[in-house]
Amino acid sequence: MEKGWHVINNKGEHIIVPADTSQNTEKYQLDVEWYRQNGYVTLSDHVERMKQIKDEYSQIMDKLNIDEVMALQMLGLPTSKILKTDLAAFERLYAENPRLEEYIDKANEILDRQEELGIISLSCQDVDFPARLLAIGNDCPAVIHCKGNINLLKKEKAVAIIGARLADKEGNTKAYQLAVDYSKAGNVIVSGLALGCDAAAHRGCLDAGGETIAIVSNGLDLCHPRENKSLEDAILNAGGLILSEQVIGTKANPTRLVARNRLQAALSDAVILAQCPAQSGSLHTMRFARQYRKQSLAATFPHRTDANAGNYTLIDANLAKPIK
C-alpha cells in the first residue's frame, strides 16, 4: 500500500489526506471545517503555516544573541536603539567599534558566571522578555537577570505592594494583609525585598500560599539588605522569583534603587502604597505607576500620622485611589 499523503480537490479547497484513501474521494466531499476539526490540513492552511514558520525563523535569525545585546548596552546604546538593531546593523556597529569584541567577551564571562549561580538572563530581543517591560518604551531595561520561577513574568494578574522601610506596626500590618488578600485573589505580588512594608508584603504572600516577585537593585549574587537573606531564600523555595537589571557583583545604591522602582510599577497592573511619610522613595514608584498608566492605590488609616502622610498627600491630590 502506498505510503505518504495526497492532495485532493474538495469543493474547490485542496485537502491533504492519507495516500491510501486518496483514490476514493467521494467520502471526502465534506465541509472544509470538518477536515480542520478532525485533524486534516487544507493546502491553504499548510501554505499559510509554512509562511508563518518562515517569518518566525527569519525573525529569530535577525535577533541578536544576549551577549551581543549586553555588549551594545556596555557601549552605551539605549534600549530603544538596541531593540531596533538587527544582525546587519550589529555587524556595521562591530566594524565601527573595535571595543565591541571586548564587550562581547566580557558579557560572556558574566553570563557564564551567572549561569553557574542559576541565574537566567533575558534580553529585550528575547521572545520570553516580559511584554509589560517592553510597554514602558525608553524606560525598558535592555537585559533582566532572574533567579527562580521566570514563568511568573507571564502571569496575567500582578499587583505591586510597596511602602517605607521604616513603616510603623500599622503600616507593616497593612502591607502584610493586602498581600494576603490580593494573592488569594490570584495576583502575583510584586515588591522590592526592602525592610518594612516590602518584606511584610512578601511574607504575607508566602503565608497565603501565593506567588511573589522581588525586584532588587543589586546583582543576584548579593542580597540587599543582608537582613532579608532568609526571606529571599524563602521566596525562591516557594517558587517565587528574584529579578534585577544589574549583573552579578553590582551593589545597591540610591540611583539603582530608584531605577528598581520603575520595574516594580512596570511589571504590575496596579501599585498599592501601604504606608509612607511625606518624603519617601515609595513616592518614586507611585510616580512611575502614573507615568505608565497603572492603577494607583493608597491605603487609608484610622488616623493621619507622619508615618502615613505620603498616602494622604497622594489621596488628597487625587493621584491615588484610597483603599482600606
Q: What is the mean pLDDT of each run of 10 residues along the chain (324 residues)?
A: 47 52 46 52 51 46 90 96 96 95 98 98 97 96 98 97 98 98 98 98 98 98 97 98 98 96 98 97 97 97 97 98 94
Peptide bond into 225 cis (omega under 30): yes
**Backbone φ, ψ for residue 107 (5° rounding):** -60, -45
The structural domains of the chain, ordered by start, are 5-61 (no CATH), 63-148 (no CATH), 150-323 (3.40.50.450)
pLDDT at 289: 97
Burial 28-50, CB ≥16 within 10 A → b, else e: beeebeebeeeebbbeebeeeee
Residue that is written with C-alpha cell 539588605 in the block: 225
pLDDT at 62: 81
For residue 239, is it left (φ>0), alpha (ψ between -120 and 50) or beta?
left
Please give the Cα distance from 150 to 130 (Å, whole number): 10
